[in-house]
Structure 1
Amino acid sequence: MAALGRLAGVLSRSVAARGRLFSAEAHSEGGSARTWKVLTFLVAFPSVAVAMLNSYLKELNHHEERPEFIPYEHLRIRSKKFPWGDGNKTLFHNSHMNALPDGYEECEDSAHH
């Protein structure tokens, strides 16, 4: 009977020790969550804001000239018409930057480009 009492005492101490171990882990997880929250607000959000500002300012000063048209044989091949529009323009066609197989389209408002 005394052995059973000692076994119960050992088990209760080990259960209590495990409980303290798990509570310490839970406490440290709260600390890491706080660390990630602080990093998000002090590093991530300002970094995204600076990147957005940088791209916005670059776009304000961005004036791209359209490249010279060179009729390479391997570019702008139309073996079959596109199923939209006149069949010659791609789905996201930009008349200022995208050439057709025979050259650029002439814009009426070419002074604005």
Structure 2
Amino acid sequence: MCDFAVIAVLPERNIAAAVELKLGIAPWPRFGDQLQEGLRVLHDEFGQAGAPSAPKAYLAVGKERHEMQEFLDAEGVRLDYGPRQVLIEVIDCGSCINVSEA
């Protein structure tokens, strides 16, 4: 399971966000499996709710953020949220996620 799995309820949609934290370099594919499990739990619990949902997957790393994002983009890595495909966004540890922009 990922480190955090949360739902943000906005007026027109729900934001389903799975977040995995890695202090150093993130090992692939383990963190992908953990993020996938978080999205599965969120979809099972909230995916059938009345409001449309915007699924997000975040990998917060302490090192090599740009290299990891380039790897994920080059490999075309996507996660499942029900029938939808979700990109993984790599962010710096300690950064904020603004769900109003999701």
What TM-score results when the alignment is normalised by the length of structure 2? 0.23
Comparing both structures, which one devotes a greater share of its residues to helix? 1
Higher relative contact order (CA 8 A, sep 6+): 2
Larger-gyration structure (1/2): 1
Q: Select the structure that is richer in strand.
A: 2
TM-score, normalised to structure 1, is 0.21
